[in-house]
Amino acid sequence: MTTREKNELKKLQRKKEVRRQYEKIAIILGVIIVIVFAGKMILGKKKSVPTAGNVETSQKQTIVKKTIVETTVQEETTRAIDPNKPMIALTFDDGPGQYTGKLLDALEKYNARASFFMCGYSLKRTDIPVDKLLKRMDALGCDLGNHTMNHCALDKVSKSKRKYEINGVNELVKKAVGYNPKFLRPPYGSGIRDAKVQKAAKMPIVCWSVDTLDWKTKSKKETVKSIMNSAKDGQIILMHDIHSWSVDAAIEAIPKLQKKGYQIVSVSEMAEAKGVKLKKGQPYFEFE
Ligand SMILES: [Zn+2]
């Protein structure tokens, strides 16, 4: 072997050595990447399990399941309702109205939910995008409720009129979102304990435990005060989204309540979190 050949051989061996070193580094890097990814996946899965405390009933298990699905889909709108933390249901009657969209914006912003008890004459309005509003309520996870066609005292009318007042709203809501309203709220709370009304309802009757008297005070300040003063776990608060001051009051009260530790939930979310199985025709005022 000549000196030149020897040198060539040495060069080749050095090259091989360098290549081997590179391969080692590549393998080590690969292993690190795999470990990091696996770690992230495990941590991610752990994060999506809500800290709901003791999950005992099947209803609570449903909430956990739902939460896992939702957290995986969209991180920002994660909604884990903690049954051990206080919650409040804001409910809005007589709409939809021209301020309902603004309210839905706020609900979305604060990751809050509400329940809407709507009247036939409002659902038939053509000056506001009723169909869009209802679809948005549904997409946000709000409850769509029935408040009769003509804001009717259901215990003071004939059987056929009662049927029309309830079924009319059912049909209008179903046309927009594909399903019947979940709850009935008889106007004025009239007939909530009347067997005729309870039978005609064919759905749970949702009343309220706090009346903000927003329609009477016509004041945002008074309405906020009423909400904050009566805030308590399990309360169902009555307001009207047809009034600008009521919607503005809700927009102010929602973050205030959240700061105090309240979860702003729909009525069905509250019932589920409290482990209450709602029955058709039965009136509910609050969930403690
Ligand atoms: Zn009403």
- The pLDDT tens digits of the residues spanning 45-63 come to 443 333 333 434 444 444 4
Cα-based distances in Å from 13 to 6, 8, 10, 110:
11, 9, 5, 66
Q: Where is pLDDT greater, at 30 or 197? A: 197
Catalytic residues: 93, 240
Tokens of 251: 């927009």
Is residue 249 predicted with pLDDT exceeding 70?
A: yes
Cα of 152 from ligand 1 centre, angstroms:
9
Residue 178 is classified by DSSP as S
Question: Stretch 230-236: mean pLDDT, rounded?
Answer: 97
Cα of 36 from ligand 1 centre, angstroms:
57
Cα of 140 from ligand 1 centre, angstroms:
23
Question: Stretch 228-233: mean pLDDT, rounded?
Answer: 97
Identify the three-state secondary structure at position 137: helix
Cα of 83 from ligand 1 centre, angstroms:
30
**DSSP calls for 218-283:** --HHHHHHHHHHH--TTEEEEEETTSHHHHHHHHHHHHHHHHTT-EEE-HHHHHHHTT----TT-E
Q: What is the dihedral of CA 237, 127, 107, 91, to 10 degrees?
A: 10
Tokens of 77: 């709108």
| Superfamily, domain 85-284 | Glycoside hydrolase/deacetylase (3.20.20.370)
Identify the pLDDT of residue 178: 98
Tokens of 162: 């009662």
Identify the pLDDT of residue 105: 98
Whether the CB-CB separation of 172 and 124 falls below 8 Å is answered with yes
pLDDT interval class at 10 (50, 70, 90): confident
Cα of 84 from ligand 1 centre, angstroms:
32
Identify the pLDDT of residue 8: 73
Tokens of 256: 């205030």
Tell me the helix, strand and coil percentages in the chain, rounded to 5: 55, 10, 35
Whether the CB-CB separation of 215 and 189 falls below 8 Å is answered with no
Tokens of 152: 């009717």
Question: Stretch 162-180: mean pLDDT, rounded?
Answer: 98
Domain spans of the chain, in order of start: 1-47, 85-284
